[in-house]
Amino acid sequence: MRLKIAALILLVIASCLTSSAQDHRWTFDAGGGFSPLLGDLTNYLQNGWNIRVGAGYNYGPGISASIHYMYNSFGISPLVMHDTHSSSGDSHVWSLTLDPKLTLRYVGKVRPFVVGGVGYYRRTNHLTNPSFVPAIGNGAFSSVGGSLGGGFDIDLRDTGLKIFSELRYHYAPTGRVAVRMIPATVGVRW
């Protein structure tokens, strides 16, 4: 289901490409990468991976805002699996956020930026047949959360494409154990 949502978002973004080529106020991006965890969540889950898609609007030189969907997948710690006598398990966090961005001056073809965001986060844990439920819970937990970080874009000559790299701290108080992670994302922006 989550991959279907991501595929649908990518399809919508692709269909908008023809209009974005004419109007440089619209921006789209897609990427993925590594998602390390922080805080108490590291006692229960293993680091994972992320994918992200987004669409936004450039308000003026260096100021934009985007809506992003991000999906992060994590493994359950072997210790938790052993202690709960679960036969299998997984965890994921998805979010839908509004992310304002301040782009700084170019350094050659590289343009650094600062980005933050606020939005809806949902953490789901699934343990199969646990003998007891650990502090992270078994089920879905939602809340409003936020993020702050930075990165850089690299222009690819006259193609209109940019490669981006971004590192952002995310926090959301989902259930008894809050989500704290720093996804490292690399992707393409157009």
CATH at residue 167: 2.40.160.20
Domain of 33, in residue numbers: 2-189
- What 3-state class would DSSP assign to 2? helix
- What 3-state class would DSSP assign to 39? helix
**pLDDT score of 94 more than 70:** yes
Query: What pLDDT does residue 17 have?
Result: 45
Q: What pLDDT, in 10s, does the model give residues 134-144?
A: 888 899 999 99
Among the residue ranges 21-35, 67-81, 93-107, the one predicted with the least confidence is 21-35
Number of domains, the chain? 1
- What 3-state class would DSSP assign to 87? coil
**pLDDT score of 178 more than 70:** yes
pLDDT band at 10 (very low <50, low <70, confident <90, very high): low
**pLDDT score of 9 more than 90:** no
User: How many other CB atoms are found less than 10 A from the CB of residue 167?
Assistant: 13
* Contacting residues for 179 by C-beta, under 8 A, at least 6 apart: 41, 93, 121, 123, 145, 170, 171, 172, 173
**pLDDT score of 2 more than 70:** no
- What's the whole-model pTM score? 0.85
Q: What is the mean pLDDT of residues 90-103?
A: 97
**pLDDT score of 93 more than 50:** yes
